[in-house]
A and B are shown apart, each in its own frame.
Chain A
């Protein structure tokens, strides 16, 4: 049985010029928090001979992050790109992604990074799961699909009527295609929580997740494959059956009303006294600042 996994990714601006938010492919990159989600998806698709689609919403320049994701090993890239989507908040973004995910059916699993390195909301993963009405767990660091158990579930409940047997087998086969049991772990408050999740689900993947033995870097072979063998599909609002007024700033319930650069100041403090006094004062200052203790 193949696993169809979709990872929703974002291209973020990594080197914004002062006084400008203009983005080009030269200063955009795949959101670093999305990489663990892609790596987790790839490890699952390798084990289960599945396929991985990366889905993104953004301007034309967002192809950069998608190509990076495809170079990591994704099979297909889809970019939802429409001028009417400009300045969508996370609610509208989740609505658009949710609509696109329904169009990408069948899928078994949707993964997200925990947040983006630019806007840093962490909203889109759980909001999209809510739009789709599927179970969600955040910040997972371990994921496995359990299928033997699923077979056992069906074996425990065989059909007794011979006439129904073929229908039952077909129903089981259909169910097998769409139902998995996910064994999931996340860390919280000093504990490791273990979950079992049945059926289609959405998770955000912890930035601590790494695949052992992998370098975490994109190979030249992957990049060449991405550009010579794969193409990015462009979808717009009409592809998704969305009206312009259903997306973008106009449809967004939350609006950014001001955007001011955070003022940061560095203060250098010299500590005087004997070495013991200096150490004591240093420890006290660090404790007061919340770095120790």
Chain B
């Protein structure tokens, strides 16, 4: 794989691999079991620039390319997929849309704190009734002097507060209704980084009557009145990432926090997910590589029938398949990243890479458990964690089925 890498990429890989080995590996098992977000390590990741990998240097980032980004996500994920997930979501679907679609004021207001890791970002699209079908979201953001009614949640409340002149638009008094604010109501679920995020991209309907064309993105900050973070989900894997629900109830947010223009939400979401898929694919490669290395290590150590089990052909076949599949998937991930760095279309390739890498991670982790036998089903060995962590990569940021839809649509067009 090194044929694709420059000397800079190799220095980046050496540096992040060293960090992951010394700082993340020793705590990976405990933070999973304790379902704990390790701020002490996250702060170090922030200081090293891992939260602003592709952000231009003038905005406080490292100014690196997509290949560097996937190297970093793979190496962190190999040590702890939960932390790889945190960095991937923060860099790609939270920070990237602000960089790509935000105006200069938004860049100056939000990007430096996100790039330095002072604030963690989140991407809030999924709702109880809107998963793969993102256009089905019910969250709303209505201008505070609009006559439109709030179509989500507290349906009897006039979001504008203009009706009858009562102070019924959340915390907005009558003389604050200047038309410069949105009243946001949203119930977002399965928000990665949700428990620690301070800057969230909220997908909302600014024009409930306009269907998919009425969807927009509002940047909401934790601490805004009406912004409520739910309890962490008790997940099977990725347990060190505080995945939560986030509810915005009559939340008054200035119109300057609207990303791009009203109605561009789906366009922003799809662009973010194209980029995000490369990160999740890199994460899956990290999990798969970790499972492969653990499988090889155990196969050489475990003695059965008087020889290390690595001498048995059935184990060798598994190791060969695992290694081949990991390398195949990695090639696809690198291709997508290289295309993006070259400014070429990469949507189909990113979808293919994510599909292949996530399914590879599941298969390879499964085989690693099989090589470990009963011990692989115990929390005493890391493959048990890889097995749980791998599973979600086939679901989030687009299920394998949705990816097949995207790929088929591209191939058939």
Chain A interface residues (CB < 8 Å from chain B): 24-26, 29, 63-64, 67-68, 71, 215, 217-221, 223-224, 226-228
Contacts of A71 in B (CB 8 A): 11, 15
Stretch from B41-49, B100-108, B173-181, B182-190 that touches the partner: B41-49
Contacts A64-B7, A64-B10: A220 and B57 contacting too (C-beta < 8 A)?
no
B12 engages A217 (CB within 8 Å) = no
Query: In chain B, what residue has the closest Cβ to A227?
Result: B8
| B299 within 8 A of partner (CB) | no
18 residue pairs of the A-B complex, CB under 8 angstroms, read A68-B11, A68-B15, A71-B11, A215-B48, A217-B19, A217-B23, A217-B44, A218-B11, A219-B47, A219-B49, A220-B49, A220-B53, A220-B64, A221-B49, A221-B62, A223-B62, A224-B63, A227-B7
Contacts of B14 in A (CB 8 A): 29, 68
Query: In chain B, what residue has the closest Cβ to A63?
Result: B7
- Choose among B10, B15, B48, B63 the residue that contacts A25 (Cβ–Cβ < 8 A): B10
Contacts of B53 in A (CB 8 A): 220
| B2 within 8 A of partner (CB) | yes
Q: Cα distance A93–B62 when bound, in Å? A: 37
Contacts of A215 in B (CB 8 A): 44, 47-48
Contacts of A224 in B (CB 8 A): 8, 57, 62-64
A67 engages B7 (CB within 8 Å) = yes
Q: Cα distance A67–B10 when bound, in Å? A: 11
Contacts of A221 in B (CB 8 A): 49, 57, 62
Contacts A26-B2, A221-B57: A67 and B18 contacting too (C-beta < 8 A)?
no
Contacts of B64 in A (CB 8 A): 220, 224
Contacts of B23 in A (CB 8 A): 217
Cβ < 8 Å to A, chain B residues 301-359: none
Cβ < 8 Å to A, chain B residues 271-322: none
A32 → chain B, closest Cβ, in Å?
A: 10
Contacts of B2 in A (CB 8 A): 24, 26
Contacts A26-B2, A215-B44: A220 and B50 contacting too (C-beta < 8 A)?
yes
Contacts of B7 in A (CB 8 A): 25, 63-64, 67, 227
Q: A218-B15, A228-B63 are in contact. List 16 more A-B contacts (CB 8 A).
A: A26-B2, A29-B14, A67-B7, A68-B15, A71-B11, A215-B44, A219-B49, A220-B15, A220-B62, A220-B64, A221-B49, A223-B12, A223-B15, A224-B64, A227-B7, A227-B11
Q: Cα distance A218–B8 when bound, in Å? A: 13
Q: Cα distance A153–B62 when bound, in Å? A: 47
Q: Cα distance A219–B63 when bound, in Å? A: 12
Contacts of B57 in A (CB 8 A): 221, 224
Contacts of A223 in B (CB 8 A): 8, 11-12, 15, 62
Q: Cα distance A63–B63 when bound, in Å? A: 22
Interface residue total, chain B, C-beta cutoff 8 A: 24
Cβ < 8 Å to A, chain B residues 8-46: 8, 10-12, 14-15, 18-19, 23, 44
Q: Cα distance A45–B49 when bound, in Å? A: 23
B48 engages A217 (CB within 8 Å) = yes
A207 → chain B, closest Cβ, in Å?
A: 15
Please name the 3 residue pairs, one residue from A and one from B, whose CB atoms are nearest each other, closest first: A220-B49, A220-B62, A227-B8
Most buried by A among B11, B62, B63: B11
A26 → chain B, closest Cβ, in Å?
A: 5
- Choose among B5, B18, B44, B48 the residue that contacts A220 (Cβ–Cβ < 8 A): B48
Query: In chain B, what residue has the closest Cβ to A29?
Result: B14
Q: Cα distance A226–B15 when bound, in Å? A: 13
Contacts of B44 in A (CB 8 A): 215, 217
Most buried by B among A24, A64, A217: A217
Q: Cα distance A223–B72 when bound, in Å? A: 13
Q: Cα distance A67–B12 when bound, in Å? A: 11
B394 → chain A, closest Cβ, in Å?
A: 30
Query: In chain B, what residue has the closest Cβ to A67?
Result: B11
Q: Cα distance A79–B367 when bound, in Å? A: 47
Q: Cα distance A25–B62 when bound, in Å? A: 22
Contacts of B10 in A (CB 8 A): 25-26, 64
A217 engages B62 (CB within 8 Å) = no
Q: Cα distance A29–B13 when bound, in Å? A: 11
B18 → chain A, closest Cβ, in Å?
A: 7
B264 → chain A, closest Cβ, in Å?
A: 31
Contacts of A226 in B (CB 8 A): 11
A88 → chain B, closest Cβ, in Å?
A: 24
Contacts of A67 in B (CB 8 A): 7-8, 11
Q: Cα distance A215–B57 when bound, in Å? A: 21
Q: Cα distance A224–B11 when bound, in Å? A: 10
What string of 1s and 0s marks CB contacts (under 8 Å) between B355-390 and chain A?
Answer: 000000000000000000000000000000000000
Query: In chain A, what residue has the closest Cβ to B50?
Result: A220
Q: Cα distance A26–B12 when bound, in Å? A: 11
Query: In chain B, what residue has the closest Cβ to A70?
Result: B11
B332 → chain A, closest Cβ, in Å?
A: 21
B12 → chain A, closest Cβ, in Å?
A: 6
Contacts of B12 in A (CB 8 A): 220, 223
B171 → chain A, closest Cβ, in Å?
A: 40
Q: Cα distance A219–B53 when bound, in Å? A: 10
Contacts of B49 in A (CB 8 A): 219-221
Q: Cα distance A227–B12 when bound, in Å? A: 11
Q: Cα distance A67–B8 when bound, in Å? A: 8
Query: In chain A, what residue has the closest Cβ to B53?
Result: A220
- Choose among B11, B18, B72 the residue that contacts A217 (Cβ–Cβ < 8 A): B18
Contacts of A25 in B (CB 8 A): 7, 10
B306 → chain A, closest Cβ, in Å?
A: 15
Contacts of A228 in B (CB 8 A): 63
Query: In chain B, what residue has the closest Cβ to A228?
Result: B63
Contacts of B63 in A (CB 8 A): 224, 228
Most buried by B among A68, A219, A224: A224
Q: Cα distance A218–B348 when bound, in Å? A: 35
Q: Cα distance A224–B64 when bound, in Å? A: 7
Query: In chain A, what residue has the closest Cβ to B12?
Result: A223
B1 → chain A, closest Cβ, in Å?
A: 10
Most buried by B among A26, A64, A223: A223
Contacts A26-B2, A224-B62, A224-B64: A217 and B8 contacting too (C-beta < 8 A)?
no
Q: Cα distance A217–B8 when bound, in Å? A: 16
